[in-house]
Chains A and B, each alone.
Chain A
């Protein structure tokens, strides 16, 4: 029995470049096989150092973009340093080798009839949403793309430059008011929210759990469909370990796997309190 149909083997990827964009946020570009070109916005990859002992488990990251550069396919990951693993990754340099599994999970649904796409991004939650915005712009021409982007301070606004090129409008909030609206991004979104209703509007969000929870509450009387990208600790990333459970209302209130049934979920379906 040959193994040539084993399509999802972990791949060895070479670091193409890495740079710090805003404080403690790194943009990592790696060379990957061409089939990564089929990745959907919202999908993720599991990353670890090739042959390295630490971090032990792979770390999940959303796909920030895939593109071809000459004969190469390049995958971008945009991450914030929050702990041991991401700290080790922040020292990666050109030529270093990574082991990458993916693309994994389900992507965002984007109905072709959609005319207005609203993104609500908290901090590094911008990563999957920026990829989504890029795809919408490429494939849906003049779709209206509005992004609400929140961060702690003006200096820590991640992913802004790229979004400004793609989006119809980028609306900014900072916790300290050093740029844009002072307060939480959900507060800024709330002011415009009534404009976003109807079949041709879609809302997408990613960010801290508390932010998604308050967005769920804000949208309780708004009929617009909203999908969110969830995070949970993962060991395998492909449905085998059952480590990444999240409670979902439609599943009889039971658990599903973020890595397999998600990471994209309808915001109304998520049980944030359980």
Chain B
């Protein structure tokens, strides 16, 4: 049976709901030899800032039970170099290209969005208001409903593209932030970014990460991500993209059933660089096996 897997996310049309998550898929080209990239619905590139950013000193990562901590510190080439050096490759491939952006001020967010208006080959923006690693660029915007709304408004008024706002789980009530960015004009929300955590070397009595704290990702966070996605789906009427600990098609299906319009795969790529392609296959198989011709007949069908 041929199944229909296309989804629409606030004006961004994807041939299937499988996206890669920012910071785990480089600028796409790193994976060219590892999987058939054209099978994916969308690629979200590493978070970009106005100027290149060198990131945090090492050690930057540490394994934890069923997951990992990272404090990469938003290292990136900057928006200009991205357009010049990384975008040409992304234009040659099939999946939608979503550019993840972050700034140090509301104005900077708007400025990056404006620059990307002129870049041919970008299909949508994902606004990172949630990275917990860098004091100036993250937590302040994402954990305050008013600031989150302000950033959203700045990007929306500067950009011609669909705008996805990526939410942090490090808040008391994620639905409050989601509602605020919806009112400010966001076309969709994606969640969750990493959960702030830490880990200690008991022999040396030092943190495993130079940055002391880092963002937790991988299977360890999946139940939390799923719960937050489910709550957010009920709270807003814009599409929700589910992110967090997805390793397999069955993980992805849980998010879709909970109401996510699409999903992103992150840390799983480090375990298996072709993880996203396997998830595409697995979703198609599930739909056929369950006699579902259209993925939209599955999304949000959780029985409670």
A positions within 8 Å CB-CB of B: 1-3, 6-10, 48, 53, 55-58, 85, 99, 101, 232-236, 238-247, 254-255, 274
- Give the residue of B30, B38, B72, B272 whose beta carbon is less than 8 angstroms from that of A239: B30
How far is it, in angstroms, between the C-alpha of A256 and the C-alpha of B144 when the chains are bound? 35
Does B70 touch A at the CB level, under 8 Å?
Answer: yes
The secondary-structure label for the interface of chain A is loop
> Cβ of A238 and Cβ of B30 under 8 Å apart?
yes
How far is it, in angstroms, between the C-alpha of A58 and the C-alpha of B58 when the chains are bound? 18
How far is it, in angstroms, between the C-alpha of A56 and the C-alpha of B247 when the chains are bound? 12
> Cβ of A3 and Cβ of B55 under 8 Å apart?
no
> Cβ of A57 and Cβ of B36 under 8 Å apart?
no
| Interfacial chain B residues near A99, Cβ < 8 Å | 272
Listed residue (A55, A85, A243) with the most chain B CB atoms within 10 angstroms of its CB? A243
Whether A240 touches B33, Cβ cut-off 8 Å, given contacts A55-B63, A232-B58, is no
> Cβ of A236 and Cβ of B270 under 8 Å apart?
yes
Known: A240-B30, A243-B60; 8 extra A-B contacts, CB below 8 A, are A1-B36, A9-B273, A55-B63, A56-B65, A99-B272, A235-B68, A240-B273, A242-B55
| Interfacial chain A residues near B24, Cβ < 8 Å | 240-241
Whether A57 touches B271, Cβ cut-off 8 Å, given contacts A245-B75, A274-B57, is yes
What are 23 A-B residue pairs whose CB atoms fall within 8 Å in the complex? A1-B36, A1-B38, A6-B34, A6-B35, A6-B36, A8-B33, A8-B273, A56-B67, A56-B219, A233-B59, A233-B62, A235-B270, A236-B269, A236-B273, A238-B30, A238-B273, A241-B23, A241-B24, A241-B70, A242-B72, A243-B70, A243-B72, A255-B55
The secondary-structure label for the interface of chain B is loop
| Interfacial chain B residues near A3, Cβ < 8 Å | 35-36
Whether A233 touches B273, Cβ cut-off 8 Å, given contacts A241-B72, A242-B75, A255-B54, is no
- Give the residue of A56, A240, A245 whose beta carbon is less than 8 angstroms from that of B26: A240
A254: nearest residue on chain B (CB-CB)? B54
| Interfacial chain A residues near B38, Cβ < 8 Å | 1
Does B61 touch A at the CB level, under 8 Å?
Answer: yes
Taking the closest CB of chain A, its distance from the CB of B219, in whole angstroms, is 8
| Interfacial chain A residues near B270, Cβ < 8 Å | 57-58, 235-236, 240-241
Taking the closest CB of chain A, its distance from the CB of B296, in whole angstroms, is 25
Whether A246 touches B36, Cβ cut-off 8 Å, given contacts A48-B271, A53-B66, A240-B24, is no
CB-CB contacts below 8 Å: B28-84 with A: 30-31, 33-36, 38-39, 46, 54-68, 70, 72, 75
| Interfacial chain B residues near A235, Cβ < 8 Å | 61, 68, 70, 267, 270
| Interfacial chain A residues near B23, Cβ < 8 Å | 241-242
Taking the closest CB of chain A, its distance from the CB of B284, in whole angstroms, is 15
Taking the closest CB of chain A, its distance from the CB of B198, in whole angstroms, is 15
> Cβ of B58 and Cβ of A56 under 8 Å apart?
no
Q: Mask for B77-95, Cβ within 8 A of A = 1, else 0?
A: 0000000000000000000
A252: nearest residue on chain B (CB-CB)? B54
How far is it, in angstroms, between the C-alpha of A115 and the C-alpha of B30 when the chains are bound? 37
How far is it, in angstroms, between the C-alpha of A226 and the C-alpha of B143 when the chains are bound? 50
How far is it, in angstroms, between the C-alpha of A264 and the C-alpha of B271 when the chains are bound? 24
B20: nearest residue on chain A (CB-CB)? A240
Taking the closest CB of chain A, its distance from the CB of B277, in whole angstroms, is 8
B70: nearest residue on chain A (CB-CB)? A243
> Cβ of B218 and Cβ of A56 under 8 Å apart?
yes
Whether A245 touches B55, Cβ cut-off 8 Å, given contacts A57-B271, A101-B273, A233-B60, is yes
